[in-house]
A and B are shown apart, each in its own frame.
Chain A
């Protein structure tokens, strides 16, 4: 994102925070509405309705910072944390999670494409498979009971932790010979690496295996509303051999297509509540901007372990909630 857009988003997000707070106060100060609002405290909570979107904004803002510093997408933190600790049903949380991941991808996508870091030729075949399968995942996800989704979500989050702990990364994977499919599709490229001042040529291999893996990734993205950067990057980088920077950038851009198809299923099924979506998108985008600024100055090594700790905690929470052990 360019500087003007960042400033605009910062201003907008600040105004939004004030807006939600003012709206809440105006309801609280209006006797008629206050009576209704007092009657409409959230079940199992003494908080008025407006406190939840406000809290959602604050939490997603912090989440945006942590996500950038921890090198994960916002969606993977959003669904287990908001689903586990907020009063919203998991159906609406997943719908909002997809839109949060989508908004992040839409914001980052143009810059990554223009710089040549994200590659459209690499993304298009992958996106077609992942987005088609995300539709199936979304339909399955919305057909399953909440406890089953929570159990599967908890197990998936804990699986992601394992991937984060054991998966290695390869800056420039050694691809000796591109496979015939990637050659036929002419998937290769050149990008400028500013740290070395050199153009980096890249090509990929194991394309059929990689594309097949995106069937599973697409289904999981649609089913849990997680985004899928945690899976996209290892497959593009380690399995298919794309350089790490190209993998990260193309993965981010890919979410703008994968999550689009799944998001439409949630929208059409009524599983999108604007009261969750708007504060979450604004909060996480503002947090990401702040996170990028902090990242430019310092990257605390411990933050990765903080993210892993949060994921373990929220994954266990989802699992135990699904098993009705911790409601």
Chain B
């Protein structure tokens, strides 16, 4: 496959996606090892998890003292919540990829796609922000 078939911004996107996936995956793996080996105290001890994992999410949050949104970011001293670094990275890498291709799209005069990329970033940031509240069941 000759390179001329693949657009510059597509290659940029792929490189960042590749790096982000590896970083996120390794972070998740390392934090999971810390968690299951009990290197750090967990907010919910692993031995107590079976009391919670069969509950609906809102009930689990109430009983286990878990809060929504980015609350976990202030609790990184807890082994279980430390895992959210890797999870958030995996869920956030696409935002970085889109941000990286926007300048290249504008440079090429591809205004429609540049605005599509900006809108996608805004959609993903809205989802990540935690401001969207769904009803609990």
Task: Give A contacts to B, CB under 8 Å.
Answer: 5, 9, 12, 16, 19-20, 22-23, 26-27, 33, 36-37, 39-43, 49-50, 52-53, 87-89, 91-92, 99, 102-103, 106-107, 109-111, 113-116, 119-121, 124-125, 127-128, 131-132, 135, 138-140, 142-146, 184-185, 189-192, 199, 256-257, 260-265, 267-279, 281-282
Contacts and interface: CB of A to CB of B under 8 A. Distances in A.
Contacts, number: 228
Nearest to A110: B18
Contacts of A91: 56-57
Contact of A41 (B1, B50, B136): B50
Contact of A264 (B7, B83, B124): B124
Interface string B24-36: 1110110111011
Find the residue from B46, B95, B127, B136 having the highest chain A CB count within 10 A: B127
A191 B120 contact: no
Given A19-B33, A99-B87, A128 B119 contact: yes
Interface residues of B, number: 77
A89 B57 contact: yes
B90 interface: yes
A124 B92 CA distance: 17
Interface of B: 1-2, 5-7, 9-11, 13-15, 17-18, 20-22, 24-26, 28-29, 31-33, 35-38, 45-51, 53-58, 60-61, 66-70, 80, 83-84, 87-88, 90-95, 101, 112-113, 116-117, 119-120, 123-124, 126-128, 130, 132, 134-137
B90 A278 contact: no
B48 A36 contact: yes
B17 A274 contact: no
